[in-house]
Structure 1
Amino acid sequence: MGIYDAPFRGSSAVAAGALTDHQLRHGFTHLYRDVYVARRVEVTAAVWARAAWVYAGPDAVLTGYSAAALHGSKWIDASEPAEVIRVGHCRPPKHLLVHDYRLEPGEATVVDGMRVATPARAAFDLGRRLPRKEAIVALDALCNATKVKPEAIADIADRHRGARGMTALRAILPDVDGGAESPPETHTRLVIVAAGLPRPETQIVHVGEDGWEWARSDMGWREWRVLVEYDGEHHWTDRRQRAWDIERSARIEALGWTVVRVGAELLYDRPGELVRRVRAKLRAVGAPV
């Protein structure tokens, strides 16, 4: 990593004689007031998080999407504003949310020298701020990346009774599942559950006679041996992936599983048909649906 591949204060670089004002203005990406990064760097959610911490100062604590990004959570759009907790009121710049939240001991940790909310605390802040579907997607991804459990998020909520958004947070926690490995997998599960079907188990492992895992299915019901698998675009555009998908499905079905395959068009344009197909497969094997 180059010296300017992480966000830095431009005034400090100029004062040290490392850069001129002209170089700073024309050779670097301006993120916040006096905060820059090398133009070759893709400005991801994690880069925005680091820039926010540089801007807000060492007393700030990164939370929400910023903390999630630094803890390894995927699928965070770089257009989402960075988030910090900092005592006192201020007018935040564009692309930054500043929260005057109360932090209890143990709710912050250190990542690469920055103060960052723990995964459970970051999930707590996201879950009470975002709309329902966005919140579940965000918490699924964070739980998947960090293995934090919804119970740990509920424990944080118990410490902050009366905080804003608590009713919304508690309403979504039963629907959070760290087994989801992409937003479409979360969306698929939510469509199934919203239709009144039993909640599926996520990440069902298939083990060979030698004891080794050879496949993993997105979700399903072991009791009735029905699986639901979301096929992303790469499943259709990558020839090797498609060939393995066909072989894998044949092997799973040979073991007595029924597989319902879901693509983006079915999920987002015809969710009723998705539900109809899943319900039909469950009924065919005796599920009370």
Structure 2
Amino acid sequence: MGRRAVLEGLATGVLAQPWRGVVIHAADALNLTTRAQAALIAVGPPAALSGATSLALHGISAVDDTVVHLTVPYVRRVESRPGLVIHRAEFTEFDVVELDGLTVFSLDLALADFLCDGDKRTAFAALEQAMYGLSTDHCQRLRDNVLDRVLDRRSKRGIHRAQMLLALATGKAESPPESILRLVVVEAGFPVPEAQFEITDIDGRKFYVLDIAWPALRIALEYDGFAAHEERHERDAERDQRLAGRGWVTIRATAADLRDPSRVLAELETCFARRAA
């Protein structure tokens, strides 16, 4: 473009400079792929996109981080800067893949790192989302690959937490909030529930599918996402009545309950006490 055109573009806001040495179209400033590519150019090789950035590029929507995460070898002297976090670790060509022309940590490695170091709830939701829709064999293969990556980590921090999350994951949750809700109740001390539990009629036909369930006590926990349930109050109430006729008690949770689960946990405790008695 030439120096003058670049300076004019920056002055008028058509162009943006996220980091020294790289310029992008301002209209693409919120595009993850553009920011990721800009980070790779700004830092230079060898480097690989990692952490939440890697997971997002693999299509994991459970992670939501506008900061770009990049890993470089220990010998490189590169510092973090606003909007760009630099991590240090040794990696080989077998640890990275190319997505849209970008050098990215493989999915199993990115999951292993995030399960150990990332936010616990987000990491669990990301793992379940990565497993969702896979066949039983492929799901187990991914679990085994991630576990191998966890055990091979140079740092042992977070390994036990990662192993617990791997053991709890089923890949059945239909949304990240459902995964988080399941983790919340388990960490609160309740028995591990079943995910996406099917209730059938007398002929074996699927009647309902419960987000989270304890079949032995016939207790169900349903997550009501805003988009899915905004106009379904009457239908949900009718469904709860039909389930009650089959001996089930249903507790409903919302996004607010993920921020403060005290109400849901108190209702669960009451239900468990009554059903146990």
TM interval, short-chain normalised: 0.7 to 0.9
The offset of 1:69, in angstroms, is 0.5
One-letter amino acid matched to 1:68: L
**Are the structure 2 counterparts of residues 157 and 264 from structure 1 closer, same or farther at C-alpha, using a change threshold of 3 Å?**
closer
More displaced 10-residue stretch of structure 1: 111-120 or 35-44: 35-44
Partner of 1:93 in structure 2? 81
Please, which of 183, 205, 211 is the counterpart of residue 218 of structure 1?
Answer: 211
Where structure 2 has 5 or more consecutive residues not aligned to the other structure, the ranges are 133-138
Confirm or deny that 1:68 pairs with 2:55.
yes
Please, which of 2, 6, 9 is the counterpart of residue 23 of structure 1?
Answer: 9
Identity %: 25
Query: What TM-score do you get using the length of structure 2 for normalisation?
Result: 0.76
The 2-side partners of 1:119 and 1:66 are apart by 11
More displaced 10-residue stretch of structure 1: 68-77 or 278-287: 278-287
The offset of 1:111, in angstroms, is 0.9
Is the 8 Å Cα contact of residues 115 and 165 (structure 2) preserved in structure 1? no
The offset of 1:215, in angstroms, is 5.4
**Are the structure 2 counterparts of residues 172 and 144 from structure 1 closer, same or farther at C-alpha, using a change threshold of 3 Å?**
same
Q: Give secondary structure in 2 for the equivalent of 1:196.
A: coil
Superposition map of 1:1-289 within 5 A: 14-15=1-2, 20-25=6-11, 26-41=13-28, 43=30, 45-57=32-44, 59-79=46-66, 81-87=67-73, 88-104=76-92, 106-130=94-118, 134-145=119-130, 147=132, 149-160=142-153, 163-164=154-155, 166-176=156-166, 177=169, 178-182=171-175, 184-205=177-198, 216-234=209-227, 238-239=230-231, 241-269=232-260, 271=262, 273-286=263-276
Q: Give secondary structure in 1 for the equivalent of 2:157.
A: helix
The offset of 1:194, in angstroms, is 2.5
Is the 8 Å Cα contact of residues 185 and 230 (structure 1) preserved in structure 2? yes
Is the 8 Å Cα contact of residues 129 and 175 (structure 2) preserved in structure 1? no
Partner of 2:135 in structure 1? none
Where structure 1 has 5 or more consecutive residues not aligned to the other structure, the ranges are 1-13
The offset of 1:285, in angstroms, is 3.8
Q: Give secondary structure in 2 for the equivalent of 1:167.
A: coil
Query: What TM-score do you get using the length of structure 1 for normalisation?
Result: 0.74
The offset of 1:48, in angstroms, is 3.3
**Are the structure 2 counterparts of residues 139 and 15 from structure 1 closer, same or farther at C-alpha, using a change threshold of 3 Å?**
farther
Q: Give secondary structure in 2 for the equivalent of 1:278.
A: helix
One-letter amino acid matched to 1:113: G
The offset of 1:60, in angstroms, is 1.9
More displaced 10-residue stretch of structure 1: 119-128 or 278-287: 278-287
The 1-side partners of 2:2 and 2:207 are apart by 57
The 2-side partners of 1:252 and 1:42 are apart by 49
The offset of 1:46, in angstroms, is 4.9
Is the 8 Å Cα contact of residues 204 and 217 (structure 1) preserved in structure 2? yes
Please give the root-mean-square deviation of Cα atoms over the aligned residues, in Å.
Answer: 3.4
Q: Give secondary structure in 1 for the equivalent of 2:104.
A: strand
Q: Report the number of matched residues.
A: 263
Is the 8 Å Cα contact of residues 111 and 146 (structure 2) preserved in structure 1? yes
**Are the structure 2 counterparts of residues 93 and 128 from structure 1 closer, same or farther at C-alpha, using a change threshold of 3 Å?**
same
One-letter amino acid matched to 1:277: E
The 1-side partners of 2:238 and 2:113 are apart by 43
| Residues 35-70 of structure 1: per-residue CA shift (max 9 Å, x gap) | 344333461555533332333335321110110010
One-letter amino acid matched to 1:70: L
The 1-side partners of 2:254 and 2:105 are apart by 35
Is the 8 Å Cα contact of residues 52 and 114 (structure 2) preserved in structure 1? yes
Q: Give secondary structure in 2 for the equivalent of 1:49.
A: helix
| Residues 102-128 of structure 1: per-residue CA shift (max 9 Å, x gap) | 225632211112121111101222233
